[in-house]
């Protein structure tokens, strides 16, 4: 995939919130936010069918020692992965993050986009998604896909609003429940990033910034 060199701004400010590219020094806060947001989701909608012990295993598998010491640093260095962070400038704490994977296919992958509960419903998620879409477009990608839990109706509606459409279902790569059952994810696709950005601009005042 050939990159375009008209890069969007690396920092976006919204009131006391700053959205910017992450660096290696952000790893511990990102891991902590990842754990908190996962447990918030577990409490709110989906993982009622997941044993609490399974949740702890999953959190450690995804965001534990290996993530902090090996996976995250390697991803940052590779340039094939971008992490964006949402920082509360008043507290200097990271309140959310997103992750994009640029693989060798024609489609970029929005691997994660998470916000702590207190920062939801304030258009911050839309600004974070817009940063991801702009950077994917700058890297030369016209399409981007993601997978979110089928029970996460709030997330599915959020992505629909921004121009994504459902394309199928898949089993989550998460470890299975202790009873052997697997979690099902909804696969969603933005088939034209420029169009998804135009859709966003119609209703999102942040998009005009």
Identify the CA nearest to 144 among candidates 207, 190, 87. Answer: 190
The answer to whether residue 187 sits within a structural domain is: yes
The answer to whether residue 4 sits within a structural domain is: no
The answer to whether residue 5 sits within a structural domain is: no
Judge whether 146 and 31 are in contact, CB under 8 Å: no
Domain range spanning residue 74? 12-208
Alpha carbons 195 and 114: distance in angstroms, whole number: 23
The answer to whether residue 2 sits within a structural domain is: no
The answer to whether residue 7 sits within a structural domain is: no
The answer to whether residue 1 sits within a structural domain is: no
The answer to whether residue 3 sits within a structural domain is: no
Total domain count, the chain: 1
In 15-118, at which residue ranges do the beta strands (DSSP E only) sit?
17-21, 81-88, 93-101, 107-115
pLDDT tens for the chain, 209 residues long, are 444 434 565 678 777 899 999 999 999 999 999 888 887 776 665 445 556 667 777 778 788 889 899 999 999 888 899 999 999 999 999 999 999 999 878 999 999 899 999 998 889 999 999 999 999 999 999 999 999 988 888 899 999 999 999 999 988 766 555 555 677 889 999 999 999 999 877 655 554 44
CATH code assigned at 17: 3.40.630.30
The answer to whether residue 83 sits within a structural domain is: yes
The predicted model scores a pTM of 0.84
């Amino acid at each position: 995939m050939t990159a375009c060199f008209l890069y969007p701004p690396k920092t976006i400010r919204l009131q006391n919130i700053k959205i910017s590219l992450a660096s290696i020094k952000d790893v511990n806060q990102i891991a902590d936010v990842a754990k908190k947001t996962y447990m918030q989701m577990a409490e709110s909608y989906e993982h009622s069918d997941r044993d609490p012990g399974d949740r702890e295993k999953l959190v450690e598998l995804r965001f534990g020692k290996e993530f902090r010491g090996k996976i995250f640093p390697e991803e940052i260095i590779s340039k094939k992965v971008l992490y964006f962070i949402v920082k509360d400038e008043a507290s200097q704490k990271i309140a959310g993050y997103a992750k994009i994977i640029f693989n060798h296919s024609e489609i970029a992958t929005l691997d994660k986009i998470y916000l702590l509960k207190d920062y939801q419903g304030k258009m911050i998620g839309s600004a974070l998604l817009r940063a991801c879409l702009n950077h994917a477009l700058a890297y030369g990608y016209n399409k981007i896909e993601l997978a979110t839990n089928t029970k996460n109706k709030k997330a599915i509606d959020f992505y629909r609003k921004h121009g994504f459409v459902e394309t199928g279902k898949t089993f989550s790569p998460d470890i299975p429940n202790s009873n052997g059952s697997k979690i099902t994810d909804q696969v969603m696709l933005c088939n034209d990033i420029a169009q998804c950005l135009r859709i966003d601009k119609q209703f999102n005042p942040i998009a005009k910034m």
